[in-house]
Chain A
Amino acid sequence: MSLVSIAELTYRYPGAVTPALDAVSLEVNAGEFVVLAGASGSGKSTLLRAVSGLVPHFYGGAFSGRVSVAGNDTREHGPGDLARDVGTLFQDPETQIVMGTVRAELAFAVENRGWRPAAVARAVEEAALALAVDGLLDRSTAELSGGELQRVALGATLAGRPAVVCLDEPTSQLDPVAGDELIGLLRRLNEDQDLTVILAEHRLERCLAAADRVIGMIEGRIEFDGAPIAFLEWALGTAPYLVTPGARLLSRVGLDPQPGVKAARAALRAARLLPEPQPIPDVEAVPGRSRRPWKRPKQVYALHFDGVWHELREGPVALRGLSFDVAQGERVALMGRNGAGKSTLLRHAAGLMKPTRGRIETSGRVALLLQNPTDYLVHDTVAQEAPAGALERFGVAALADRHPRDLSGGEKQRLALAIVIGDGNGGDGGADAEAGGAGVEEPAVLCLDEPTRGMDRAVKEDLVAILRTIGAAVIVATHDPEFAAAFADRVVLLADGAVIADGAASEVLCGGAYFATETARILGGAGGALLPEEGAALLARERVSA
Chain B
Amino acid sequence: MTYRRRPSSLHAAAAGAALAWCAALALAVIVQTNPVVLGALVLSVLGAGALAGVRHEMCRALWLALVLALTICVINALVSRDGLTVIWRFGDLPILGQTNVTLEATAYGAVHGLQAAALVLLGALYSLAVDPDQVLVLFRRWSFRSALSATIATRMVPVLIRDSKRLADAQRCRPGAAPGRIQLMRATTSGVLDRALDVAAALEVRGYATAVPVSRRARRSWSRHDIGFSAAAAVVVVISVASRIAGWSAFTAYPVLRAPAGAREVAVGLVLALVALAPFADRRGVQT
Contacts and interface: CB of A to CB of B under 8 A. Distances in A.
B172 interface: yes
B173 interface: yes
Interface stretch (A365-373, A394-402, A521-529): A365-373
Interface string A126-145: 00000000000011101100
Nearest to B190: A405
A83 interface: yes
Contacts of A53: 204-205
Name the residue among B169, B175, B209 with the largest chain A CB count within 10 angstroms.
B175
Interface string B198-212: 111111111111111
Nearest to B203: A98
Contacts of B152: 98
Name the residue among B162, B206, B214 with the largest chain A CB count within 10 angstroms.
B206
Contact of A437 (B175, B183, B190, B202): B175
Interface stretch (B70-78, B215-223, B236-244): B215-223
B202 A90 contact: yes
A109 B187 contact: no
B187 A378 contact: yes
A233 B228 CA distance: 70
Contacts of B177: 434, 436
Contact of A156 (B136, B137, B171, B206): B206
A439 B176 contact: yes
A117 B217 contact: yes
Contacts of A54: 201, 204-205
B131 interface: yes
Contacts of B3: 100, 140
B202 A377 contact: no
Contact of B176 (A78, A86, A143, A422): A422
Interface in A384-418: 405
A436 B207 contact: no
A227 interface: no
A95 B218 CA distance: 31
B146 to A, nearest CB: 15
B283 interface: no
Contacts of B211: 80, 111-114
Contacts of A90: 198, 201-202
A438 interface: yes
B212 A112 contact: yes
Contact of A52 (B151, B198, B205, B218): B205
B173 A350 contact: yes
A50 to B, nearest CB: 13
Contact of B212 (A92, A113, A368): A113
A436 B5 contact: no
Interface in A69-91: 78-81, 83-84, 86-88, 90
A78 B209 contact: yes
Given A375-B167, A378-B184, A420-B174, A100 B190 contact: no
A310 to B, nearest CB: 15
B282 interface: no
A198 to B, nearest CB: 14
A111 B215 CA distance: 11
Given A80-B207, A95-B202, A439-B176, A100 B214 contact: no
Contacts of A188: none
B89 interface: no
A90 to B, nearest CB: 7
A79 to B, nearest CB: 4
Given A58-B204, A352-B173, A365-B175, A114 B213 contact: yes
Interface in B138-186: 151-152, 155, 158-159, 162, 166-167, 169-179, 183-184, 186
Contacts of A370: 166, 169-170, 173
Nearest to A143: B4
Contacts of A323: none
A112 B174 contact: no
Given A54-B204, A112-B212, A369-B173, A375 B198 contact: no
Interface SS, B side: helix
Interface band, chain A: 35 or more
Contacts of A367: 173, 175
Contact of A142 (B2, B191, B199): B2
Name the residue among B199, B210, B215 with the largest chain A CB count within 10 angstroms.
B210
A518 B5 CA distance: 42
A97 B170 CA distance: 25
Contacts of B169: 347, 352, 370, 375
B133 A100 contact: yes
Interface string A1-40: 0000000000000000000000000000000000000000
Contact of A139 (B5, B170, B214): B5
Contacts of A58: 200-201, 204
B195 interface: yes
Contact of A101 (B131, B206, B215): B131
B132 interface: yes
B208 to A, nearest CB: 6
A116 B218 CA distance: 8
A80 B210 CA distance: 5
B207 A84 contact: yes
Contacts of A112: 206-208, 210-212
Nearest to B194: A374
A262 interface: no
A92 B176 contact: no
A80 B204 contact: yes
A249 to B, nearest CB: 38
Given A58-B201, A100-B131, A116-B216, A368 B173 contact: yes
A347 B213 CA distance: 47
A79 B209 contact: yes
B212 A114 contact: yes
A114 B208 CA distance: 11
B202 A140 contact: no
A19 to B, nearest CB: 21
A100 B198 contact: no
Instruction: Pick the 7 closest A-B CB pairs, nearest first.
Output: A114-B212, A80-B210, A104-B133, A375-B170, A95-B198, A83-B207, A117-B218
13 contacts: A83-B206, A84-B207, A90-B198, A98-B202, A104-B131, A111-B211, A113-B211, A117-B218, A118-B218, A139-B5, A140-B4, A378-B179, A440-B175
